[in-house]
Structure 1
Amino acid sequence: MARASRFRFTLVLLVLAVLVSGYAGCDWRSGLRKVGTFFEKTIGPKTARERYAKELGADAGAKLVGWERAYANADTQRLKIQLPHREIFQLDTTVDYSAQALHFTLKAGRILRIEGTAEGGTVFGELYKTDPSGRRYGRPIATWKPDRLKLEYEPWGRSENLVFLLQSSLGTRVSAQVSLASEAALLFPVAGKDETAIKSFWGASRDGGRRSHKGNDIFADKGTPLLAVADGRIFKVANGGLGGKTVWLYDNEREQSYYYAHLDEQWVRRGQYVQRGDSLGTVGNTGNARTTPPHLHFGVYADGPYDPYSLLQRDDPLPPGPIYDLEPGQSSKRVPLSGNHYLRESPERKGTVLRQLNNGEPVTALAVTGKFYRVVTGRGEFGYVNFD
């Protein structure tokens, strides 16, 4: 075996040993999944974009260098969106603007779906985590495939800051539409109800301010079935204390626990495995809820409790389309001669103002979303602007 091959083999074994020993205290399935994720992200296959760049090779010369630089510089745009979102990009042959970035926060318990269409050429899409400064790090956590412009991703535990990078193939003029939306990863825990039945929220004062509410209260008639929000194992069934009749469900896939309190009836036993949608018991008002209308106190725990509201919200509606058309290729525009017009960090009236634009100032439109254009100014500033 060659020296380089032996070194790589030894390194793989060493990393594998460290990872497995690190997860020895965890469920073995979880440990294996994490090991698999590590290798997939560190020594796994190249992304479609990386394979494309490799195929171009040295023959592309300075153009490829500029194309890679545009991708790296897309991080500096720092434009922020809210989900759901739809944006139509005109990615021109101008290499400097071939890559664009969409920064956003994905809340805990939501499954992100990013879908796109492209006309005129190939478009690449890659999703990354970002650090507190907004810069991406590590390998992509999900990517588009050339023949399938779709991806999905669910964060582990808490909310995550992400960036989706979009880039057209070198020297092409591509019209690309991107839609981002999230949906609930969990089933709603009370049969026949949705988030509108939540009447008491995380952080509400309890016992005259001596403690705060560590969950959401979902109100329903006594006897309404309570459902397993995910596949998992019942690890505790109890009666007593503030929660009265309670059930704890452990979700091995997400490594978190769900707490059902104030039940009237408990239909499961400790150690029982349940599937998403199985009945666990019924709504009641046991424990310290005996003087209140029947409801479920629902809590989520992953290294401590966190607000479960985003896990209980309904799926995002379809994102609205833009009201403006954008000509193929980047479009030269001028700020209207009257009125005040602002370059903003996000495509909404309350978005952070980056600068007030000068009347008559030329800008280049790169994309359109809702009532806003994504533009770059003559100074090289990226932002959203509305010309109403």
Structure 2
Amino acid sequence: MKTTISDKGGRLILHIFYLLAIAAILFSCKSGQVNLFKPASPHEQYQRKLVTAGLDKTSMGSAWIVSSLSVLQKALTITIPYRESGYFPADAVSAAAYRFSVARGQKISIELSKKPLDQFMIYTDVWEQPENGQVKLLASGDTISSTLVFEARTSGTILIRLQPELLRGGQYTLDITAGPSLGFPVKSSNSSHIQSIFGDGRDKNSRKHEGIDIFATFRTPAIAAAAGTIIRVNENNLGGKVVWLRPKDKDYTLYYAHLDQQIATEGQSVAEGDKIGLIGNTGNARTTLPHLHFGVYTSDGAIDPMAFVNTAVKPAVKISASVNNLNATMRTTGKAGIFNSTVSGSRSMLTLKPGTVMTVTAANAGWYRVKLPDGEPGFIQSKELSGIAKPLKRIKIGPAQQELLDRPDSLLSCRKLALKEGSTVEVLGNYGNYQLVKNESDATGWIRQ
């Protein structure tokens, strides 16, 4: 069931003229000049156009601005890789927000495609929140440039918001993937050859391993994992023959140890993939098989290199939930849990009664992202829902049920029309102390139970 306007005659005509007036002002202002006092994201530029056109004083314009902030407080938790197909209706103010964890050194790719291609814009904004740190805007875009790629500069949380323009709707597909931000430092090899990881005990646990060990045949080339400058070529007791590489425009240094031969020289500029040494077992690796000790060092010391070079990139789970139900009103077939996370083992935040009504906003894997009648978002297993075409039952309207409401809320609801006492309606579902019903004229709305 899609959102409908039930009022007849003049009210319907006025509402249509109101929407057309907003659309005319809004889309004409796209081609105008906007005075920007500082560089702004596409989302910020669009919001400034709303304000310049005076649309922030309208109900829809102000709701769009409020929604852009409130949706972040209700961001749902996902794991990457993640794929979702969703729908933003043109006749509603919509937005979606997600959060997920990242490790420093991962390269995150966010790709957004949409239908229709024209006259339907979605703004994407990405924030990072380091562990014990402040939220900071990391990247922004729109569906003209549909892919955002960035390196996670710290371990922590990434927050994403999607928000379409007013009065434009359509379907979209969101893909979020993670991979390494550096090239692999051993020629013709990959992360499956890593046999010792960061933090492993060394020398009877008197110290911790400050890198990863990549095993390879003797004198296999060690290569530059990024373009940059060789800042040191020397020898030490632990690492034997070592090379230090400073990647261009980065705040960390790469450490290559246990080399049999150093090929790069101090001060040399290298491109990614250039040979800088040959793998061996010098230093304290004399009794081990040949391998490269690879480390990443910042001003605060060693950090885990795995995310920087891990070539084991997982694909997103295919969507098995039917996308035919996007923007549809559905109901639970029995008791069902609704979740704020797709993370395995998450506990439900709410247990819903059979027949609980909700709107499907997106599909991912075997889940639906849904919106409850009070606007709260969440995830629910798609198998827990069914359509509302077939009524649960038929009832007669009592004296306290004559108001057909637009929402199940005693404070915020408005009357759509009056139902005649004793008339029969079909019950399509429920939420709280309200029932969603349809009368003989196919008008739908909520009545008190």
TM-score normalised by length of structure 1: 0.81
Q: Does 1:369 align with 2:370?
A: no
Distance 1:318 1:244, change over 3 A: same
| Residues in 1 aligned to 2:307 and 2:326: alpha-carbon distance in whole angstroms | 38
1:321 is displaced (CA, Å) by 3.3
SS of 1:310's partner is helix
Instruction: Pick one of 302, 307, 310 that aligns with 1:305.
Output: 302
- Correspondence for 2:311: 314
| Residues in 2 aligned to 1:137 and 1:94: alpha-carbon distance in whole angstroms | 32
Q: Does 1:220 align with 2:230?
A: no
- Correspondence for 1:262: 258
1:259 is displaced (CA, Å) by 0.9
- Correspondence for 2:128: 129
Q: Is the 8 A contact 1:236 1:248 kept in 2?
A: yes
1:90-136 superposed Cα distances (whole Å, 9 cap, x missing partner): 1124545x1100212232222222111122422111112236699x8
After superposition, residues 71-90 of structure 1 pair within 5 angstroms as 71-90=68-87
After superposition, residues 1-388 of structure 1 pair within 5 angstroms as 44-56=38-50, 57-59=53-55, 61-93=58-90, 95-96=92-93, 98-120=94-116, 121-130=120-129, 137-138=135-136, 140-156=137-153, 158-303=154-299, 304-314=301-311, 316-327=313-324, 330-337=327-334, 341-388=336-383
Structure 1 or 2, whichever has the larger Rg, is 2
| Residues in 2 aligned to 1:367 and 1:132: alpha-carbon distance in whole angstroms | 29
Distance 1:270 1:386, change over 3 A: same
SS of 1:208's partner is coil
| Residues in 2 aligned to 1:113 and 1:213: alpha-carbon distance in whole angstroms | 30
Residue type of the alignment partner of 2:142 = K
| Residues in 1 aligned to 2:162 and 2:63: alpha-carbon distance in whole angstroms | 15
TM-score normalised by length of structure 2: 0.71
Q: Is the 8 A contact 1:347 1:369 kept in 2?
A: no
Q: Is the 8 A contact 1:182 1:315 kept in 2?
A: no
- Identify which range, 247-256 or 323-332, moves more after superposition: 323-332
| Residues in 2 aligned to 1:282 and 1:59: alpha-carbon distance in whole angstroms | 65
- Identify which range, 181-190 or 146-155, moves more after superposition: 146-155
| Residues in 2 aligned to 1:75 and 1:334: alpha-carbon distance in whole angstroms | 26
| Residues in 1 aligned to 2:374 and 2:307: alpha-carbon distance in whole angstroms | 39
Residue type of the alignment partner of 2:352 = L
Distance 1:242 1:59, change over 3 A: closer
| Residues in 1 aligned to 2:145 and 2:264: alpha-carbon distance in whole angstroms | 42
Q: Is the 8 A contact 2:243 2:256 kept in 1?
A: yes
Q: Is the 8 A contact 1:226 1:280 kept in 2?
A: yes
1:176 is displaced (CA, Å) by 1.4
| Residues in 2 aligned to 1:215 and 1:335: alpha-carbon distance in whole angstroms | 50
| Residues in 2 aligned to 1:324 and 1:108: alpha-carbon distance in whole angstroms | 32
Query: Which one has more relative contact order, counting CA pairs under 8 Å at least 6 apart?
Result: 1
| Residues in 2 aligned to 1:130 and 1:213: alpha-carbon distance in whole angstroms | 28
SS of 2:323's partner is coil
1:7-52 superposed Cα distances (whole Å, 9 cap, x missing partner): xxxxxxxxxxxxxxxxxxxxxxxxxxxxxxxxxxx96433222333
| Residues in 1 aligned to 2:251 and 2:115: alpha-carbon distance in whole angstroms | 41
Q: Is the 8 A contact 1:128 1:163 kept in 2?
A: yes
Distance 1:387 1:113, change over 3 A: closer
Residue type of the alignment partner of 1:179 = D
Distance 1:64 1:302, change over 3 A: same
1:146 is displaced (CA, Å) by 4.5
Q: Is the 8 A contact 2:79 2:343 kept in 1?
A: no
Residue type of the alignment partner of 2:141 = W
Distance 1:305 1:352, change over 3 A: farther
SS of 1:144's partner is strand
Q: Is the 8 A contact 1:261 1:298 kept in 2?
A: yes
Aligned-pair identity (%)? 29
| Residues in 1 aligned to 2:165 and 2:325: alpha-carbon distance in whole angstroms | 16
Where does the alignment leave 5 or more consecutive residues of structure 2 unmatched? 1-35, 384-449
Superposition RMSD in Å = 2.3
- Identify which range, 61-70 or 358-367, moves more after superposition: 358-367
1:268-304 superposed Cα distances (whole Å, 9 cap, x missing partner): 2222222211111111111111111111111101121
1:329 is displaced (CA, Å) by 5.9
1:80 is displaced (CA, Å) by 1.3
1:240 is displaced (CA, Å) by 3.0
Where does the alignment leave 5 or more consecutive residues of structure 1 unmatched? 1-41
Distance 1:131 1:300, change over 3 A: closer
